[in-house]
Chain A
């Protein structure tokens, strides 16, 4: 049967139209708004972008996001990977995996509330309701204001919450990939003279590379958009601001559409390279098949 040149388009158009209407157009519009003033009535040129790169809180948000990327991405992927390999040898593997995956089932706001209690701080002398400080005072130490102590401790405390939530996801995906490696390959390596450490680096990891890359880029995109945890636990106070939370504030608290749009556009700009890498990976994998 002959197909007309536009026949494929007929199939693509519904999806494409939806995408254009709900994604491309709003993105483009956001970009336009970012060059206007707070209520979009006056063209201000690059003023909003200049604000983003000069304002102290914005700079601290960028810095904190970098810290998130530097800690959150490697740790979630690394923990997921190690756990996937180790749990494979554990008897109650699925039970342990379910427990580690559990935080994914809790809303991020809920997780934030839980951890706010864990980190809770009362001045020295009063009863500590947070488990960490209760433990410290039990040991006779001074309680630590976990979420206030800037700039490292409080940010790291927030990042730990993120890791707690997302490690389970990394674990489950990576574990599936690990189980896809034929056992005979690992046995062949064992007979060939490799110890478990070598097998991990020379056989397991290279074979899992495509999955690790996908998980890592997904985590990277996740972390650039990090919002809920920060919003619930500190709302950006004490130098814990992040880009997405700042965008939310500009938009809904300060009603400055121009600035919010500028931040949103920047965030999109940062994520694009990752998307491209992911698409390329996907194509490579398809070609591999």
Chain B
């Protein structure tokens, strides 16, 4: 069992609080992704788990063992660094064998483990090469291989794909996911890329300003963000936030954004009744807009009119930058939409999928 548990972990650098009272419980064999913008404390959290940073307060457990005072080498972890951190004076074989040699494993076993890892990663032919003779993707594989051969309880990945080009990144993403299935180990993966987080994680932990914002399976976080930050961070392009007012008319609730008025679904009512007449932030994901031409459910209560400012065709879908009154919106619409820049378009909002946020606490209302 290799659970990783953080209990009220705080890390301060002088006056700066990098990690602020974070409690996380990562299950055995879980693929946990810590995600957040730069400076959110995700890397510091990972380094604290690795033992490369001492925590200011709080407790870290790996496999039910308190590791606060245990040096990295005795924590039974392996780490893959952003810049790979391969030893430049050693060939690929020795880079991978280094940790095993330190543990004084018999030579045959080292050979066998390195071979095995090299086969998994497809780098058998590179074993005699030095890191500087490898491409970025190959270096990345060696760095992963160096972690695999150790057969640790927990793998730590610190933004391992951020130095690769886009195509390679997508390929490596799938490979690391496959690797996780194969190794059946606990993986803690840090990234600033929400797509990486969404595609790889069994559970996402979203951090901002050193605090844990939300934890949960990717789709759950996507569908039910806990607050404004999570709603804006997960999803691409980001959710549209429209400052507006909640109105009650004929026992129905409406969002009044001045330039448009839409009627909220009735299952929202229990949670929103206390906000009647108050300011709220109305959140709509770009993918929850639809062109009225191709969306039969459009009615007067869920359709808005907007002017097209920019069109970005993505192939299967098209991004429309819209202006509705004073609100700039991004909508991801059907590629059949034949409107041009400057024209007016009618878009339907898929209201059951929208969100309301409290503008003060930034918490999700519904």
Residue positions of A touching B, CB distance < 8 A: 182, 184-185, 187-195, 198, 202-203, 206-207
Contact = CB atoms under 8 A, between A and B. Distances in A.
A184 B81 contact: yes
Interface of B: 50-52, 71-73, 77-79, 81-83, 85-89, 98-99, 102-103, 146, 150, 156
Contact of A206 (B77, B79, B83, B89): B89
B52 A192 contact: no
A90 B291 CA distance: 64
B73 A194 contact: yes
B99 A192 contact: yes
Given A182-B83, A187-B52, A202-B98, A192 B146 contact: yes
Given A193-B99, A193-B102, A188 B89 contact: no
Contact of B73 (A185, A195, A202): A195
A222 B277 CA distance: 86
B38 to A, nearest CB: 17
Nearest to A187: B52
A185 B78 CA distance: 13
Contacts of A192: 73, 78, 98-99, 102, 146, 150
A188 B81 contact: yes
Interface residues of B: mostly helix, strand, loop or mixed? loop
Contact of B83 (A184, A189, A194): A184
A194 B150 CA distance: 13
B14 to A, nearest CB: 13
A194 B81 contact: no
A182 B78 CA distance: 18
8 contacts: A182-B83, A185-B88, A187-B81, A187-B85, A191-B77, A191-B78, A192-B78, A192-B150
A193 B103 contact: yes
B347 to A, nearest CB: 48
A191 B103 CA distance: 12
A206 to B, nearest CB: 5
B94 to A, nearest CB: 10
A106 to B, nearest CB: 37
A190 B72 CA distance: 6
Contacts of B103: 193
Given A185-B88, A193-B102, 17 more contacts: A187-B52, A187-B72, A188-B146, A190-B71, A191-B50, A191-B52, A191-B78, A191-B79, A192-B73, A192-B78, A192-B102, A192-B146, A193-B103, A193-B150, A195-B73, A203-B87, A207-B89
B52 A190 contact: yes
Contacts of B81: 184, 187-188
B342 to A, nearest CB: 51
Nearest to B90: A206
A203 B88 CA distance: 9
A190 B75 CA distance: 11
A284 to B, nearest CB: 13
A195 B102 CA distance: 9
Nearest to A202: B98
A203 B89 CA distance: 8
A154 B77 CA distance: 55
A195 B79 CA distance: 16
A130 to B, nearest CB: 47
Nearest to A181: B88
B362 to A, nearest CB: 36
Contacts of B50: 187, 191
A30 B326 CA distance: 90
Contacts of B99: 192-193
Contacts of B88: 185, 207
